[in-house]
Structures are given as structure tokens and as C-alpha cells.
Structure 1
Amino acid sequence: MSKIAFITGASSGFGKACAEKFAANGYNLILNARREDRLNEISNVLKEQYGIQILLRVFDVREQQAVSDAVTSLHDEWKAIDVLVNNAGLALGRDYFEEADLDDWNIMVDTNIKGFAYVAKAVSQLMVLRKQGHIINMGSVAGKLVYERGNMYCATKSAVDALSHAMRVDMLRHNIKVTAIHPGAAETEFSVVRFKGDETSARNVYAGLQPLTAADVADVIFYTTTLPPHVCINDLVITPTQQADGIYMHRH
């Protein structure tokens, strides 16, 4: 069987772009998202275009039992996961700390930290059995440098940064690679979700910038999986040329 990549949050953005990139390189895919209609559409296109096998797993990463069931119920041939792209996550709101919506905070913590960890733990247990595999965790420049009105989102991505380091340390004895990818400004559905459908505010985030595309980030993610077995990129920040970090940008 061809190599297998398990991609969460695969219905849009980085996840969808990663599905396309790995499919184009002959990987069979396990794709996760909450939106089954989108997953079906993506799956049909990729199977027709690349002749690969695709298994769909529709669940919310916040639901611990659903995550566990989705992984443990895999048939043996699908348990040989070579790459996990642990991508599902989101930002909600750009409010000052004292004005923030607690529901937004809870959703981000439950998705970006707890759901992220549920998936990584479940899949890593399969990789440990084979003493091989590559876990790719989607972080953010927001996890490297806190910015105004970023509060809980920055905190969750800081946790992703720390947990990625922890995974890398703990997985050493199992020969498993762990790579944290921290994108900067990238024009996907991310900002539309963050601003709760306000497309004008979402577009303003990228005003005067040539932002990254989802495909740019997927290219880098795939590259990290092509290195020799003894080489692991632990931590990688990728931004547009006009952006240095989570704060400093040069807009035209």
C-alpha cells in the first residue's frame, strides 16, 4: 500500500491544500473535518485526478471519544499512518482581554489545545507500534509573539508550540519525527472565521500585503516529509516576505 497521510481540518485552508499536495505525490489519505459535504467533494476530485485511495472520518476534534473511535476503528492497512498533519484549529474574535467572549475562548482552547492533543495522542500510539512516523503540528506566529487583542488565540498557539516540543522529546525513543509549522499571514478562510463572517474585516487583515497561500504552506509541509530518515525539522516559521513576525509587517 502507498504511504498514508492523516489530515485534520481537511475541508478548507491548509488542510485542503495539504490533501491536494500529498495526493499529487501518491499518498493515500485519511481526511477529517466536520463538513462531510466538503470532504466528499474534495475526495471525489482527488481520487479521480490522482487514482489514490481516500478514507473519510467526519468528527469534531473537540470530542475525545469521537477522535479515539475514528482512529481505533481503522482497518489494519489504514493504521500504518506515515504522516499526521495535525491541522484542525481556529481563531475567534479580536477583542481586548477584558472584553473577550468566553464562548470564543472555550472553543479555541477545546479545539486548538485539547482537540489537537487528542488527535496527536491517538495517532502517535499507532506510530509507536511501527517505530516510525512523522507528526506535523500546525502552530502560528501567534504562538511565538503575543500581539494586541490576540490573547487566548496566542495562548493556544503557544501551547501548540510547547506541546510540539514535548512530543519531539517524548517521541525520540520511538524514532518518530515531530515538526511544528508556524505560518504568518495566509489568506484562507481563517480570518473570515475569526471575524465571524465579516468579510470586509477579514480582507483588511491582508491589505497592502501579498500573503501566503494555503498552497505555499502545504509545499513547505510536504518538503519537511521528504528529508532523509536521520533529518528532522523541529520548528519552522513561514511568513510572507513583507512580514517578520506576528507584529511587524511592511504594507504597500
Structure 2
Amino acid sequence: MKTAFITGATSGIGKAIAQNFAKQGFRLIICGRRKEVLENLKEELAVSTEVCSLAFDVRKKDEVFAAIESLPEEFKNIDILINNAGNAHGLDPIAEGNTDDWDAMMDGNVKGLLYVSQPIIKIMKSNKSGQIINISSVAARQTYANGVVYCASKKAVDVLSEGMRIELTEFGIKVCNVQPGAVATEFSEVRFKGDVEKAAKVYEGYDALQAEDIADLVSYIVNAPERVSIADVAIFPKAQAEPRTVFRK
């Protein structure tokens, strides 16, 4: 039984991946900041598989390291890491940007990914096997006005994914960078600081991707033949041509 470690598992893409993996019988380590939500998800998934939950904030390295160190012995041998936790805050030009928003994005999307990855990479290197999937964004492919810092943080994820692949291929570790386009999740609610009405307009007039679509893609990646290493994947809804261009009805 393979063990998968999933960050940002309490909602959206992370939750969908956890549910997908549970159906396949993976042993799961689900992580998030909202402890009550995490425990409810654990109860749901435990019907299908073994589950361990870790409540921590990826932006706080001491919490991250302590949480991973606290894993029960049977969960310590991690085969798959899904770096999904991340955020977008605000849609402002740099000149008017909120520096707290910048910190939240850089700390969560970049430093948080590194904090989680380092101890798990050590485990995988020791085992000479493993797979890391980093959830980036099509925003890394094309910078857009008023979202420059978010785009930069996701470009950094692309670079880290490439760097991990260069450093880890000799140890039998696969690394994949997944770039989703518009996915109808809580993402926009966070970006607009809880403004549900404003967030809903992001997905009006077209059929946006669903979290399950990304989970299906991730499932394919982890179940590909051992000889296959999928390096980079961009996935758009049919109506989206690039990050800034969506054709609405």
C-alpha cells in the first residue's frame, strides 16, 4: 500500500485528490490548517483506507517539521507528495498592492512548498523512490496585470519543480509540475477575501474545470507505468485559451 501526503486537503483540489486516492486504497496523510474540517474529512475517508491527519500552516516551518516528525511509524514511509497548499490574495497592481498579501502568497506558495518538501525528499532519497507532484498554475505561463505577485509565486513553483527533477532523478524520484487553469473552487473566494458574489463572477458564462478534473489528472500521473515520468502538464477548461482569455457565453 502506497502512502500519499497531501497538503491543502481540506477543500478544492486537495480534497478531491484525497477522495480519489482513498477510493484507490492509498494510505493517506491529509494536511490543512482547519482542524475541524480536516477531522471531518478524515472520518469520511477512513471508511475506505487508513488516514492520518496533520493540522499545520505550511508557512510556519517549525509547525511543518514538527508535524512531519510526529507521524506514526506506519505513515512515515511516504511514497507520494502532493504539494497543493497555496493561495492568491487580491487583484491589485504592484503600486497599490497590500504587502501582507504578498507575504501570504510568497510564504505559502513558495516557502511553504519548500518547508514540506525538504523532510519528505530526505525520506524518498533514502528509499531511492517516490513521486512529487507540485500544483502550480497557468499563471506561471503568462503573467497578467494586477496578479503579478501571484504569477511570480507560481513561476517559482515551476522553477522548484524543474530543480527537484534535476536533483532527484538519479534517486529514482519522479517530479511533475501541474498547471491548472480556471478551476471552480474556493480559490477566488480567498482571492477576494470572502466576497462570494465577486468570486462567483469569475466562473460565470463558461464551464470551468472542477477539482475532480485535476484529481483525475493527478491519478493518471501517479498510476503511469514506472518507466514514465510526466514532467509538466497544463490543463485548461475548453473555454480558456490562456490565463487572461476566457470565452464566455
TM-score (normalizing by structure 1): 0.97
Q: What amino acid sits opposite 2:171 in the alignment?
A: H
Q: What amino acid sits opposite 2:158 in the alignment?
A: D
- Other-structure match for 2:37: 38
- Other-structure match for 2:138: 141
Greater shift, 134-143 or 242-251, is seen at 242-251
Q: CA deviation at 1:213?
A: 0.4
SS at 2:176's partner residue?
strand
Conserved in 2, the CA contact under 8 Å of 1:184 and 1:238?
A: yes
Q: CA deviation at 1:112?
A: 0.5
- Other-structure match for 1:214: 211
Q: What amino acid sits opposite 1:46 in the alignment?
A: L
- Other-structure match for 1:182: 179
Q: CA RMSD in A?
A: 0.9
Q: Deviations over 1:49-103 (max 9, x none)?
A: x1x1111111000111111122223233212111111000000000111011000
How many residues align? The count is 249
SS at 2:52's partner residue?
strand
The equivalent position to 2:128 in structure 1, one of 128, 131, 134, is: 131
Q: What amino acid sits opposite 1:7 in the alignment?
A: I
Counting aligned pairs with the same residue, the percent is 44
- Other-structure match for 1:3: 2
SS at 1:225's partner residue?
helix
Residue 157, structure 1, aligned to residue 154, structure 2:
yes
C-alpha separation in 2, matches of 1:250 and 1:125: 44
C-alpha separation in 2, matches of 1:119 and 1:176: 16
Q: What amino acid sits opposite 1:161 in the alignment?
A: D
Residue 192, structure 1, aligned to residue 184, structure 2:
no
C-alpha separation in 2, matches of 1:244 and 1:205: 15
- Within a 5 Å distance, the mapping from 1:72-91 to structure 2 comes to 72-91=69-88
- Other-structure match for 2:64: 67
Q: Deviations over 1:153-196 (max 9, x none)?
A: 00000000111000011001111000011000000000000000
C-alpha separation in 1, matches of 2:194 and 2:74: 40
C-alpha separation in 2, matches of 1:248 and 1:85: 28
Residue 120, structure 1, aligned to residue 120, structure 2:
no
Residue 111, structure 1, aligned to residue 108, structure 2:
yes
C-alpha separation in 1, matches of 2:174 and 2:210: 25
SS at 1:114's partner residue?
helix
Structure 1: unaligned runs, 5 residues or longer? none
C-alpha separation in 1, matches of 2:67 and 2:85: 15
Q: What amino acid sits opposite 2:14 in the alignment?
A: G
TM-score (normalizing by structure 2): 0.98
Conserved in 2, the CA contact under 8 Å of 1:4 and 1:27?
A: yes
Q: CA deviation at 1:208?
A: 1.2
Q: CA deviation at 1:243?
A: 0.7
Residue 102, structure 1, aligned to residue 99, structure 2:
yes
C-alpha separation in 2, matches of 1:111 and 1:82: 23
- Other-structure match for 1:18: 17
C-alpha separation in 2, matches of 1:146 and 1:133: 32
Structure 2: unaligned runs, 5 residues or longer? none
C-alpha separation in 2, matches of 1:41 and 1:106: 30
Q: Which runs of 4+ in 1 moved over 3 A?
A: none
C-alpha separation in 1, matches of 2:241 and 2:114: 28
